Amino acid sequence: MIPLLIALQVFSPSDPTGLRPLYEQAIELRKSRHGEASAEAAAAMADYGRFLSRISDPAAHEWLSRALTIRESLDDKQALALSLERTDRPRAEALHQEVGEKAKGELAAVSWSRLANSAEGRNATPLAERAYRAAVAASVNEEKLAIRLNELALFLKGKGSLKEAEPLLRRAVGIQQKGMGAKSPELGATLNNLSGLLLDLKRPAEAEPHARRAIEIFEGTLGLTHVRTGIAASNLADVLSARGLNAEAFKRYKQALVIFEKELGPDHAWTRDVRQALRP
């Protein structure tokens, strides 16, 4: 089964370079009015650094560091950590851990989640698990809590703690059905993950309605050719195959193959996996 994570929206201006002079003018204006080392100037530097970080400009580190030197705020430390994740992982992790331990609410939850992702990426399993659990505990935004429940559940599934992962995904389903509606793609992703977990638990009959509902959501909201629809088709096929419903499973694998070949290419791992499943 292919897990589905819920993607966060990313700031993507059509022409970000045009905004640079505006940020720089704001910094100079605040320096002239309030002083080089004023909180107001630091706030403008931090805003500019965050903007540069969103467009992957390496100069982000400089501006965020300058703001942090003046203000030493947890918000600035988190922003700097986010900008350093690709270039200085140890420092980024240290900053995220500091923010997680000192802050509260969503500020803490974001840093714990980012620390967990980073630690899992380098196979630091104990730290990753502690950070994933801390992110869930700190979350106050229900929609983001559902995302973090998915993250923790998939992590636990990966380490073989399947039974512990199940109630987390069921809780996420409840949150999303209430807050996002019965046809949101985010709910579809969680249902997909839940069906995959139930299949791993050797409960394909319980997995089937969740897998069917997931693909219905994706076909209705994202369309028949979207990669997520292909993932849902492939996962439903896995469930159907486990139930002995081979004819329908074959059709769903074919559906997934067409999507993956077009959208991902013939050599993508998912394309190869589905092609292998179709072989007699």
Confidence (pLDDT) at 12: 41
Confidence (pLDDT) at 4: 59
Indicate the class that CATH gives domain 164-280.
mainly alpha
Look at 260 and 18; give whichever has higher pLDDT. Answer: 260
Task: Please state which of the ranges 51-55, 117-121, 205-209, 233-237 shows the lowest mean pLDDT.
Answer: 51-55
pLDDT at 201 over 50: yes
pLDDT band for position 253 (cuts 50, 70, 90)? very high
Task: Please state which of the ranges 36-50, 80-94, 249-263 shows the lowest mean pLDDT.
Answer: 36-50
- Going from N- to C-terminal start, the domains of the chain cover 164-280
DSSP of 21-83: HHHHHHHHHHHHHH-TT-HHHHHHHHHHHHHHHHTT-TTHHHHHHHHHHHH--HHHHHHHHHH
- How far apart CA 201 and CA 156 sit, in angstroms, is 13
- How far apart CA 98 and CA 19 sit, in angstroms, is 31
Mean pLDDT of 77-92: 88
pLDDT, tens digit (0-9, with 9 covering 90-100), for 3-53? 655 433 333 445 566 788 888 888 898 888 888 777 788 788 888 888 888
Q: pTM of whole model > 0.75?
A: yes
Instruction: Quote the tokens at residue 234.
Output: 């492939």
Identity at 176, one-letter amino acid code: Q
Confidence (pLDDT) at 115: 97
Assess contact for 196 and 3: CB atoms under 8 A.
Answer: yes
